[in-house]
Amino acid sequence: MTERAAAAAEGVDGVGFGDPLVEIQNVSKYFANDEGMLSWLSVNRDADGLPVETGREWVKAVEDVSFTIRKGETLGLVGESGCGKSTLARTILRLLEPTEGSIYFKGRDLADLSGEKLRNTRKDVQMIFQDPQSSLDPRMKVGKIVEEPMQAHGMLDAEGRAARAQELLEKVGLDPQHYNRYPHAFSGGQRQRINLARALSVNPDFVVCDEPVSALDVSIQAQVLNTMRDLQEEFGLTYLFIAHDLSVIRHISDRVAVMYLGQLVELADKRELFENPSHPYTQALLDSIPVPDPRADGRRGVLEGDVPSPIQPPSGCRFRTRCPKLIAPAEYDLSDETWDRVRAFMRHVKRRDFTETDPDAIRRRYFDGRVPDGAAGDVVSAAIDDIAADDWEDAAERLQSAFAEQSVCAREEPDYEVDPEYGTDRHTVACHLHRE
């Protein structure tokens, strides 16, 4: 085991890592939403470069994301499908134009580069795509696929490119004699190895891996991941590794960033995040991992509610509409038990999940026959009267404006740093539970 791998296994931070290689500062990416269809247009800007409201709706796919990746490390990026991981990856590589923010690579802002300068930089930043089949040209032989980036950047002569392609095929675990085969002759895992060889052909420093093993069988995943770690050691690579499978992230990452609805909600050392998750969303992701224990009866944590629209994301903490630990409004004197009852009542009103609408039956079901005291009880009683009158929208709006929107979770955007229990890396979390 190498020094770096041994240190990672023991939870030691920063061993073998150099200075920051990639720095993402307040990066956002919006798409125009015209008549329900995404329009791949840049946002209009004012003289200061800020987005201009033009009466159009904007899909806020990525908003105000910042992090640093050090030379030689692997930063894992995890989150539900549709949270903006792939959009962020493509924005970092300038395959998509950032709406706001800066993307520093070796101290140069990629967001300011264009033309030949940007093209020359692409040699140092490569990408491995999710689908190992569609990302390879079926009409090209494997050798030519690996050589293509070298040819595009004017590296080596034809003989030199062929020799390097065969060398790289061997490095990624394939037979150099497969140089003249077509992609259809390979399995999914072998195709992804070809993608890896192609990315390495131009000697990159930074590789973005966009769910590179999600389409592979579990046994093949481990082989490809181990190959990627070995090549990282040999070539001094830096990875941004995107996945929705936490077991994959735990296997290959040094630090982990958790993304929800276009924003980062937690960033910490791998061991710190898995053993001391500090955001309710991170905890929910970890609880959703199947447990290989027959006594667990297959039970897993399940988040309630739907992911909000990125066109109109919630104010404050974006996770608050699904958060099981939403903070009670300070103006109401509610015990934890009473607040849990109020929140359960709110959820059921929103879903109209009632078998009967008699006010006494509702009070018995949710509040043991007695609504909370004071102003909170007045709101609940008024909402029960709305339900009895079949005014569901008024009841939901009344509860939402009185309780959910008055919580600090709705009024302020959270951004805190907590003391790590493992290692020395910073542990940042976007949750008001760490307000103190």
Q: Are residues 268 and 369 in the same domain?
A: no
Higher pLDDT, 157 or 34: 157
Residues 6+ apart with CB under 8 A from 264: 65, 66, 67, 257, 258, 428, 430
The pLDDT value given to residue 50: 53
Kindly state the average pLDDT of the residues 49-58: 63
Domain assignment of residue 98, yes or no:
yes
255 and 356: one domain?
Answer: no
Residue 377 lies in a domain: yes
Q: State the chain's mean pLDDT as an integer.
A: 87
Helix, strand, coil percent values for the chain (each to nearest 5): 40, 20, 40
Burial of residue 321, with CB atoms counted within 10 A of its CB: 0-12 exposed, 13-18 middle, 19 or more buried: buried
Q: Do residue 279 and residue 341 come from a single domain?
A: no
Distance, in Å, from the CA atom of 379 to the CA atom of 384, rounded to the nearest integer, reads 9
Cα(49)–Cα(55) distance, rounded to whole angstroms?
Answer: 18
For 173: left if phi > 0, alpha if psi spans -120 to 50, otherwise beta; the answer is left
Number of domains the chain is built from: 2
Residue 424 vs residue 10, higher pLDDT: 424
266 and 377, same domain (yes or no): no
Assess whether 143 and 256 both reside in one domain.
yes
Number of H helices, E strands in the chain: 15, 13
CB within 8 A of 55, min separation 6: which ones?
A: none
H/E stretch holding 283 reads helix 280-287
Please check the confidence at residue 38 and state whether its pLDDT lies above 50: no
Domain boundary among 254, 283, 312: 283
The residue type found at 72 is: G
Q: How confident is the model at residue 20 (pLDDT cuts 50, 70, 90)?
A: very high
101, 207: one domain = yes
Q: Is residue 354 part of a domain?
A: yes
CATH code of the domain in which 203 resides: 3.40.50.300
Q: Please give the average per-residue pLDDT across 236-245, as a whole number.
A: 93
Q: Check pLDDT > 70 for residue 193.
A: yes
How does pLDDT run across 102-157, given as a tens digit for each residue? 999 999 999 888 888 988 898 999 999 888 788 899 999 999 999 999 999 999 99
Task: Determine the Cα–Cα distance for residues 140 and 118; give it in Å rounded to an integer.
Answer: 26
- Crossing angle between the packed helical segments 142-152 and 188-200, to the nearest 10 degrees: 20
Q: How confident is the model at residue 36 (pLDDT cuts 50, 70, 90)?
A: very low
pLDDT tens column, 352-378: 888 888 999 999 999 999 999 999 999
Token readout for 145 is 């696929």
Residue 10 has pLDDT above 80, yes or no: no
Residue 292 lies in a domain: no
| Nearest residue to 259 via CA among 433, 378, 388, 85 | 85
pLDDT score, position 40: 45
- 341 in the same domain as 242: no
pLDDT in the model for residue 289? 76
Q: Which residue has the higher pLDDT, 218 or 55?
A: 218
Percent of the chain past pLDDT 90, that is, above it, reads 68
Whether the CA torsion 261, 264, 269, 275 is positive or negative: it is negative
360, part of any domain: yes
| Angstrom distance (rounded) from CA 314 to CA 320 | 8
Higher pLDDT, 324 or 6: 324
Helix (H, G, I), strand (E, B) or coil at 63: strand
Host domain of residue 263? 3-283
Q: ∠ CA 264-269-272 to the nearest 5 degrees?
A: 100
User: Is-contact 69 77, C-beta < 8 A?
Assistant: no
Assess whether 276 and 342 both reside in one domain: no
Check whether residue 204 and residue 114 sit in a common domain. Answer: yes
pLDDT 10s digits, 373-409:
999 999 999 999 999 999 999 999 999 999 999 999 9
214 in any annotated domain: yes
Task: Please indicate, yes or no, whether residues 113 and 207 belong to a single structural domain of this protein.
Answer: yes
